[in-house]
Amino acid sequence: MKFLIVANPVSGGKKGKKCLPEIERLLKKNNIKYDLKLTLYHGHGEIIIKQTDLKKYYGIGLVGGDGTNFHVLNGLIKHHNNKKLPPIAIIPTGSGDSFALDLGITNYLNGIKAIKQNNIKPVDVLSFTSKNKIFYCVNMVGTGFVTEVAKIAAKLKFLRGLSYVIGVLYKMIFLRFHEIELKVNNDIIKGKKCFVEFCNSKYTGKKMLMAPQAKINDGYFDIVVASNFSRFTLLKAFPMIFKGTHLNLDQVSVFKAKKAELITKKNETLLPDGEIFGQTPTKITILPEKLNYFYLKQV
């Protein structure tokens, strides 16, 4: 079987470039045939997929992080949706690599091992709208405090997972809230909120357990809504997010849904799969088992 490897050399503060020779060595050692294509600019992953004859490949391996995954899967769904889509193998070298955790993959060694095991599972996909166009993600899409943190973390990618921690602490100082209207399950939720996250998987920002009850193939997404925290409460809540116990706070609500609509008083930036991209208003819909991913089976 042959793979198309799409590698992002600047992922994880250029961790992708640093690790790529070893990743290629391991692919060859495990007799995994592949063609390698490097992304040369932001969003190039989608263009590579669009321009590739996928019938030549058993699967697509991506060397990068959540953002690389975002561009590859958008390339698949937007440009090859009428064909049988090959499964995706994540070989993580990003700053967060959050979605890979739900596949049991914690590093690029695990990613290659998952390919070797050839274990594949169907995964739900989120579709979301921005300026009347449709895009796709598999991890989560949100806005508010989480997006503001990501903007700081993007400038500190060389610090990898620590960049998100610094981003959280920094934005606590300049804390602001967002006037929203959330339509979900025939209910309308209004008011000033700290953030809203639509979660298909559990983790964000490396190992922050944003939605511990979320499952990547249950046909639903989890909506985590945080109200107007005080700085003290937010500081108290921050370590709780690594265990998922922040859901026990009175300021946090969780909903399960198949579709939702988010409207904000002013246009707010979205954060799909770690990408600072798109803006509200947005409509989110679950696409059950839309893509297939390699996962690591624990033995």
How many structural domains does the chain have?
Answer: 2
**Angle 264-270-274 (CA atoms, 0-180°, nearest 5)?**
155
- The last residue of one of the domains, among 71, 105, 124, is 124
Taking a C-beta distance cutoff of 8 angstroms, is the pair 138, 126 a contact? Answer: yes
My answer on whether 91 and 152 are in the same domain is no
Query: What is the structure's pLDDT at 157?
Result: 67
My answer on whether 112 and 197 are in the same domain is no
The owner of tokens 């969780």 is 254
Asked, for residue 299, whether it belongs to a domain, the answer is no
Q: What is the pLDDT of residues 260-277, one digit of tens each?
A: 999 999 999 999 998 999
Q: Residue 163: phi, psi to the nearest 5?
A: -60, -35
Query: What is the structure's pLDDT at 161?
Result: 62
Beta strands (DSSP E) in 88-220 are 88-92, 120-130, 133-137, 140-144, 178-184, 187-199
Instruction: Return the CATH number at 27.
Output: 3.40.50.10330
My answer on whether 101 and 138 are in the same domain is no
My answer on whether 86 and 104 are in the same domain is yes
- The last residue of one of the domains, among 124, 141, 174, is 124
At 128, the amino acid letter reads F
My answer on whether 143 and 284 are in the same domain is yes
My answer on whether 96 and 50 are in the same domain is yes
My answer on whether 187 and 94 are in the same domain is no
Asked, for residue 296, whether it belongs to a domain, the answer is no
Asked, for residue 88, whether it belongs to a domain, the answer is yes
My answer on whether 116 and 142 are in the same domain is no
Query: CA 226 to CA 180: how far, in whole Å?
Result: 11
* DSSP-H helix ranges across 205-268: 231-237
pLDDT band at 160 (very low <50, low <70, confident <90, very high): low
- Domain encompassing residue 270: 133-288
My answer on whether 166 and 265 are in the same domain is yes
My answer on whether 116 and 259 are in the same domain is no
Q: What is the pLDDT of residues 204-248, one digit of tens each?
A: 877 889 999 999 999 999 999 999 888 888 878 888 988 999 999
My answer on whether 95 and 204 are in the same domain is no
My answer on whether 97 and 156 are in the same domain is no
Query: What is the structure's pLDDT at 288?
Result: 97
Total-model pTM:
0.91
Asked, for residue 101, whether it belongs to a domain, the answer is yes
pLDDT band at 126 (very low <50, low <70, confident <90, very high): very high
Judged by average pLDDT, the poorest of 36-45, 56-65, 107-116, 141-150 is 141-150
165-180 average pLDDT score? 78
41-74 core/surface letters (b: 16 or more CB in 10 A; e: else): eeebbbebbeebebeebbbbbbbbbbbbbbbbbb
Judged by average pLDDT, the poorest of 13-22, 28-37, 85-94, 162-171 is 162-171
Residue 296 or residue 164, greater confidence: 296
Query: CA 212 to CA 285: how far, in whole Å?
Result: 20
Judged by average pLDDT, the poorest of 113-122, 180-189, 230-239 is 230-239
Query: CA 222 to CA 231: how far, in whole Å?
Result: 25
Least Cα distance to 276 among 146, 85, 156 occurs for 146
